[in-house]
Amino acid sequence: MKMPRWFSLSVALSFAVLPLLARAQVNVVQTVAPNVYFHEGDIGRKGHCNNGWIVFADYVLVIDGNFPSGAQEVIPKIKALTDKPIRFAFNTHHHGDHAYGNQVWHEAGAMPVAHVGALAEFKKYETNYFGGGGPGRWEDAAKGRPDVAASRLKIPTVLFKQDLYFDDGKQRVELLHFGVAHTHGDGFAWLPNEKVLFTGDACVNGPYNYVGDGNIGDWIKTLQAVQKLGPKFICPGHGAMGGPEILEDQINFFVTLRGEVQRLHAAGKSAAEVKAAVDDIKAKVKANDRLLRYVGGGFAGQVEKAFVELGGAAFPK
């Protein structure tokens, strides 16, 4: 998918040891709790996001639509575990690696679900689909992804404003919206009985933070509100699953980065001067061993986004 120039999915990272999983387990189905599963997608080679699914008494709820090829990879793994029909596919947000597989899920019997803000983002960025001109991001993605070119855009048709519950008396999943973060339509899947949280890209575990469609300042506040749920298990949008330290580290990464940029902005530094200070800011972030894994090729763009949010100008080219 074509993204602004600050977007980077650098996969050269060094993971801190997590209490649940010391190493990533890409393309392996992991049991998080009874009838609750996590699947780490292959972002490096295929661009796939992570998926989760919850098996209810009569159906399966899937977390994230993935790209079409990601959906096609995960569906057989779900069917190998249960004969329950797949009825719902929750898009944590509108990005292609989390939603362009919706048509595949639809053909498997699932309805796409999302926060109303995600639909608004679809209308903003998928202009060709909604008759507002074009091409949109789908057409851009199709140029480089045969799986997208062979499929078609399927928008979410089950929508919620603040929350939506799935509960059969044994399993309970709450789809929740806390505010702007990675996008303006981020949704979280919260399992209160198991204390499991699926975050989408509002929280990742590695150098996968794309900041172009969100707001870093609001992102911090949103994740701090999410922390109050008290999750014990974090299933991020990209990277390995683990404990609550993943959420804490994600917050601290943005707090540290934004704090350094704010200091320069308050000192009256120009965009050129802040751009020149990117390596110094990076060194200060990396001084915290727990934040090392979040620093990737898109770091300069993250600094620029924070500076612009604080009232500064875009970096000179």
Distance CA 5, CA 212 (A): 9
Quick one: what percent of the chain has pLDDT higher than 90? 91
- Residue 61's H or E segment, with its range, is strand 60-63
Distance CA 293, CA 290 (A): 7
Distance CA 134, CA 173 (A): 37
pLDDT band for position 20 (cuts 50, 70, 90): very low
Give the Cβ contact number of residue 41 at 10 Å.
25
* Fold category of 29-243 in CATH: Metallo-beta-lactamase; Chain A (3.60.15)
pLDDT at 33: 97
Distance CA 142, CA 126 (A): 13
- Residue 87's H or E segment, with its range, is strand 86-90
Average pLDDT, stretch 236-244? Answer: 97
Does the pLDDT value for residue 9 go beyond 50?
A: no
pLDDT at 134: 81
Least confident of 24-33, 99-108, 143-152: 24-33
pLDDT band for position 13 (cuts 50, 70, 90): very low
Least confident of 8-12, 106-110, 167-171: 8-12
- Give the tens place of pLDDT for each residue, 189-226: 999 999 999 999 999 999 999 999 999 999 999 999 99
Average pLDDT, stretch 230-239? Answer: 98
- Tokens standing for residue 83: 């004969």
- Residue 197's H or E segment, with its range, is strand 196-200
Cis amide bond preceding 34, omega within 30: no
Whether pTM exceeds 0.95: no
Does the pLDDT value for residue 7 go beyond 90?
A: no
State the DSSP code for 116: H
pLDDT at 24: 67
Distance CA 121, CA 200 (A): 15
Does the pLDDT value for residue 8 go beyond 70?
A: no
pLDDT band for position 23 (cuts 50, 70, 90): low
- Give the tens place of pLDDT for each residue, 89-132: 999 999 999 999 999 999 999 999 999 999 999 999 999 999 87
Does the pLDDT value for residue 4 go beyond 70?
A: no
pLDDT band for position 133 (cuts 50, 70, 90): confident
Parse the chain into domains and list their residue ranges: 29-243, 256-309
Give the Cβ contact number of residue 218 at 10 Å.
15
Identity (one letter) of the amino acid at 65? G
Average pLDDT, stretch 273-292? Answer: 98
pLDDT at 1: 32
Identity (one letter) of the amino acid at 16? A
Identity (one letter) of the amino acid at 256? T
Distance CA 73, CA 164 (A): 27
pLDDT band for position 53 (cuts 50, 70, 90): very high
pLDDT at 68: 98
H helix intervals, the chain = 43-46, 68-79, 96-99, 102-107, 116-125, 137-144, 146-149, 216-227, 245-266, 271-276, 278-286, 299-309
pLDDT at 313: 98
Average pLDDT, stretch 160-183? Answer: 98
